């Protein structure tokens, strides 16, 4: 089965990101395909490389980046939600007159069309968070 996953909550304020990550790893281990992971609303906070959790805590952002690298996952961050929350890649930072970017490895910024396409291409769209 082919899944698109939508994550709507931040990494440390709600269990949705952890649950989505665990779902993705279990689905991949069971031989399923992840077409795309789309981060929306506060879920875009999963994409900032500036998050620095305590050493004895899990690093949610690094886990997503490592999973994407291992399985060639497409991690897409909603551009509008990202701009509202200060998440930017180099192109968005430049376009908006910012002097720095903060997107984590493996993530990319794009629009809602990527979510729609993911829903069309996948057998199931699974949403985590409100």
Among candidate residues 37, 75, 77, 78, the one labeled active-site is 78
Reply yes or no on whether 74 is catalytic: no
Contact (CB, 8 A) for 48 and 87: yes
Residues catalogued as catalytic: 78
């Amino acid at each position: 089965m082919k899944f698109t996953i939508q994550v709507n909550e931040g990494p440390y304020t709600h269990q949705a990101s952890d649950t989505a990550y665990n779902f993705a790893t279990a689905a991949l281990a069971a031989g399923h395909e992840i077409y795309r992971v789309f981060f929306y609303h506060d879920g875009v906070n999963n994409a900032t490389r500036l998050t620095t959790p305590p050493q004895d805590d899990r690093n949610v952002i690094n886990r997503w980046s490592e999973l994407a690298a291992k399985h060639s996952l497409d991690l897409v961050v909603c551009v509008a939600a990202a701009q509202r929350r200060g998440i930017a890649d180099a192109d968005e930072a430049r376009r908006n007159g910012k002097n720095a970017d903060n997107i984590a490895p493996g993530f990319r910024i794009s629009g809602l069309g990527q979510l729609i396409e993911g829903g069309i291409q996948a057998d199931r769209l699974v949403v985590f968070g409100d």
